[in-house]
């Protein structure tokens, strides 16, 4: 029995085939070849020019009396100003129609006080602007017939009606919207612009979505009170299968992020076949889908 057990233990090693000896020379040669190819690619790679070429430093000039109205941006840099301040100085001079006093130069945004103090003795301008002279009006002033503290007759702004009949929110222009107390020209223009981007209001409650009215609930209540949406109104529809990115992102319920995903999705998966296909887009939540659905068409 002992002989059989010993034979059983030794037998696997006797029957196992001998493994060939590994020679790493061939593999090492292949690795050396690949390393040489990579090194050759790295050395022959074309050099690209920098997107931001290094600026040549502007040579400085000795300070001497100068008229700032005849200096270019380079001339200002030659007198110690940084490039962005020099360009700002020239632009400021063009906007105000020329420097008339040193204080205008001192007020230039970004000009360090120490640098201005070094340049000020050489600027050929007075320190301060001349004082304004009081106008002399004949006959006792611009309004000779008006008594002191007399209130003006009439009003600069037309009085808004106290009793206003409700009007169609989707057909109103800015003049009609301005009939509502509290709605000025700016608010009226924003309401019309939002309506055009939206394709028309389906509900008066949508006016609360306008950015300038989010903090003005009283104006939203006034719009709800004096306007209505005509029964059966059909808004302008947005073709999500064919509309461009610019057209999609302009819609208030889409925006840039969702517009990019819509364009990418239809390019990868083809056109949307039914409205429910839009729910495959993960960033389109249920609330936005419900608001967008009445404005969508599939062609």
73 touches 89 (CB < 8 A): yes
Query: 242, 267 in Cβ contact below 8 A?
Result: no
For 256-299, what is each residue's pLDDT tens digit?
A: 999 999 899 888 888 888 888 888 888 888 998 898 899 999 88
**How would residue 157 be classed by pLDDT, with cut points 50, 70 and 90?**
low
**Which residues make beta-bridge pairs with 167?**
227
Q: What is the pTM of this model?
A: 0.48
Domain 238-297 has CATH 1.10.150.320: yes
Encode pLDDT of 196-229 as tens digits.
999 999 998 998 989 888 888 888 898 888 899 9
- pLDDT, residue 142, reads 57
**Would residue 149 be called left, alpha or beta, if left means φ above 0 and alpha means ψ between -120 and 50 degrees?**
left
Contact in structure between 111 and 82 (CB atoms under 8 Å): no
**Residue 49: pLDDT above 60?**
no
114 pLDDT higher than 60: yes
Cβ proximity of 224 and 207 under 8 Å: yes
Are 167-228 and 238-297 equal in CATH topology? yes
What tens digit of pLDDT does each residue of 63-111 get?
889 899 988 999 999 988 898 889 988 988 888 888 889 888 888 888 8
Residue of 10 and 91 predicted with greater confidence: 91
Domain 167-228: top CATH class:
mainly alpha
* Residues contacting residue 170 through CB under 8 Å, at least 6 positions apart: 195, 200, 201, 229, 230, 233
Residue 95 has which token pair? Answer: 């906007």
Region 16-41: mean pLDDT is 80
Q: Tokens 């130069």 appear where?
A: 105
Q: Which two tokens stand for residue 251?
A: 């819609």
The residue-averaged pLDDT of 17-38 equals: 80
What's the rounded Cα separation, in Å, for the pair 35 and 25? 15
Closest residue by Cα to residue 114 from 91, 85, 88, 92: 85
Q: Output the pLDDT for position 201.
A: 92
What ranges do the domains of the chain cover?
68-122, 167-228, 238-297
Q: Is the pLDDT of residue 154 over 80?
A: no
Would the pLDDT of 30 be above 60?
Answer: yes
What is the band of 163 on the pLDDT scale with cuts at 50, 70, 90?
confident
Of 206 and 136, the one with more pLDDT: 206
**50-56 long-range contacts, CB within 8 A, separation 24+:** 55/83
């Amino acid at each position: 029995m002992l002989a059989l057990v010993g034979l059983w233990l030794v037998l696997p090693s006797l029957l196992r085939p001998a493994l060939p000896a590994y020679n790493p020379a061939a593999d090492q040669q292949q690795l050396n070849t690949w390393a040489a190819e990579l090194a050759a690619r790295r050395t022959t790679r074309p050099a690209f020019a920098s997107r931001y070429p290094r600026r040549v430093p502007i040579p400085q000039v000795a300070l001497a009396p100068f008229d700032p109205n005849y200096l270019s941006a380079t001339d200002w840099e030659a007198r110690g100003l940084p490039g962005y301040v020099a360009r700002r100085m020239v632009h400021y001079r063009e906007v105000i129609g020329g420097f008339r006093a040193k204080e205008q130069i001192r007020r230039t945004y970004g000009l360090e006080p120490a640098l201005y103090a070094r340049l000020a003795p050489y600027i050929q301008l007075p320190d301060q602007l001349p004082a304004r002279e009081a106008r002399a009006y004949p006959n006792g002033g611009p309004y000779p017939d008006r008594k002191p503290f007399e209130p003006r007759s009439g009003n600069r702004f037309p009085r808004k009606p106290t009793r206003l009949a409700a009007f169609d929110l989707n057909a109103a222009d800015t003049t009609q919207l301005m009939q509502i107390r509290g709605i000025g020209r700016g608010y009226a223009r924003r309401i019309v612009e939002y309506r055009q981007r939206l394709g028309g209001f389906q509900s008066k409650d949508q006016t609360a979505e306008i950015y300038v009215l989010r903090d003005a609930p009283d104006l939203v209540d006034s719009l709800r009170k004096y306007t209505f949406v005509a029964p059966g109104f059909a808004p302008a529809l947005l073709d999500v299968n064919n509309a461009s990115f610019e057209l999609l992102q302009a819609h208030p319920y889409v925006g840039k992020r969702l517009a990019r995903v819509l364009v990418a999705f239809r390019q990868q998966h083809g056109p949307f076949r039914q409205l429910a296909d839009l729910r495959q887009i993960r960033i389109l939540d249920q609330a936005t889908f419900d608001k967008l659905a009445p404005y969508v068409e599939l062609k």
